[in-house]
Structure 1
Amino acid sequence: MAETRNSPITIKKYANRRLYNTATSSYVTLDHLCQMVKDGTEFVVYDAKSGDDITRSVLTQIIVEEESKGGQNLLPIGFLRQLIGFYGDSLGGLVPRYLEHSMQAFSHNEERMRDMMQNAFGGIFPLQQFEELNKQNVSFFENAMKMFGRFYGEDGVPGKPGTARPAAGESSIDDLKAKLNAMQEQLDALSKKG
């Protein structure tokens, strides 16, 4: 099957854990795939034997490799614990959409920060604009952590496990929906500011 120009590149993963790029007819490594992601090259990974789409697990494997290299860790331990806690939870289905919107908003602000730095006249850094974007990103991240954080107390202070969630029977689905709607409105507002 020939791949069209806009279709993602097909990568096949063999039983020996080798990855084969069908577009270049060559074997690649996770580092190659990592660079493809950074370059914006779309790809899908299929198990060569079963034909199953295993893109998600391979991307997760890339993240694990990047985190283990040291230097720059993007995933705080508290976030990882919270994320694990949502597996099997009734609200777990909302988490992927929320995280995707959060990352889109963050990426949008990142582009604005980079543009301001590049367009700074005479090398003068636009500190006031940068600080405002930084405050928005920090505020957004803190709100996200408070909303989804099982390890945050009612006052938003980490280290008080169990206080973020009322006991069964006391929880209100309507309250949770209202919080999700409020966060969605904040995301929409941040997206429109660009």
Structure 2
Amino acid sequence: MADRKSASDETVVIKKYANRRLYNTASSAYVTLDDLARMVREGVDFVVYDARTNEDLTRQILTQIIFEEESRGEALLPVQFLRQLIGFYGGQMQGVLPGYLEMSLDNFSRQQEQIRSQFTKAFGATPGAGLLDEMARRNMALFSEAMKMWPGFAAGAPRPEEPPKAAAGGDDALAEMRRQMDEMRARLDKLSKP
């Protein structure tokens, strides 16, 4: 695919024109926000510049991609999180929060990769039969400890709990994982309501 980084790992430049069209200079083709979202998922590094002023628009375009993804139905960001995030704008923690969020997401990504790696090594292991429970317990503990650092988050942070043991059968483990996800959604919904 022409959108991918070149052998020299150069950043792809996207130009945004006055007619709101986005032009990928690496592939010499117009692209959409969906194309840019796909590039992000594929690990392609890109920057977006205004074609006329050469202003860096990367942050605005990435935010627009998030908005588009959120408006399609399956929301990733809970309402309470968005409210708290907006509350940090203009405050004392505005300078610290971006680094904290980036570090948290990097840690989360590394843990997900460890899970995939452990499943691969333990060929035949049933997903959710212990590894996911342990990772969920560890993530909740880390999350709770991290949220204690932020006064606005501490009151609403969920407490780490001992998740129920998943059954050994594949269907039972999948049902247990779905049940746990439903519980997490219910908790997030509860936190997002005033």
TM-score by length of 1: 0.72
> Do the aligned partners of 2:144 and 2:157 also contact (CA within 8 Å) in 1?
no
Aligned length: 153
Distance 1:45 1:157 in 2: 36
Point out where structure 1 has 5 or more consecutive residues left out of the alignment: 159-194
Higher relative contact order (Cα pairs below 8 Å, separated by 6+ residues): 2
2:95 aligned partner = 93
Moved over 6 A (4+): none
1:114 lines up with 2:116 in the alignment: yes
Separation in 2, partners of 1:108, 1:157:
22
Structure 1 residues 69 and 144: CA distance shift in structure 2, 3 A: farther
User: Which residue is 2:21 aligned to?
Assistant: 18
Aligned sequence identity (%): 51
Per the normalisation by structure 2, the TM-score is 0.72
Corresponding residue number in structure 2 for 1:105: 107
Residue of structure 1 in register with 2:63 after alignment: 60
Alignment of 1:141-156 (within 5 A): 141-148=143-150, 150=152, 152-153=154-155, 156=156
Trace 1:25-104 onto structure 2 (pairs within 5 A).
Answer: 25-71=28-74, 73-104=75-106
Aligned residue in 2 for 1:185: none
Q: Which residue of 2 aligns with 1:166?
A: none
For structure 2, the 5+ residue unaligned runs are: 1-5, 159-194
Aligned counterpart in structure 1 of residue 130 of structure 2, from 115, 122, 128: 128
For residue 85 of structure 1, report the CA deviation from its aligned partner.
0.7
**Local SS of the residue matching 1:150:** helix
Residue 36 of structure 1 and its aligned partner are, at CA, apart by 0.2
Measure, in 2, the Cα distance between the counterparts of 1:37 and 1:117. 25
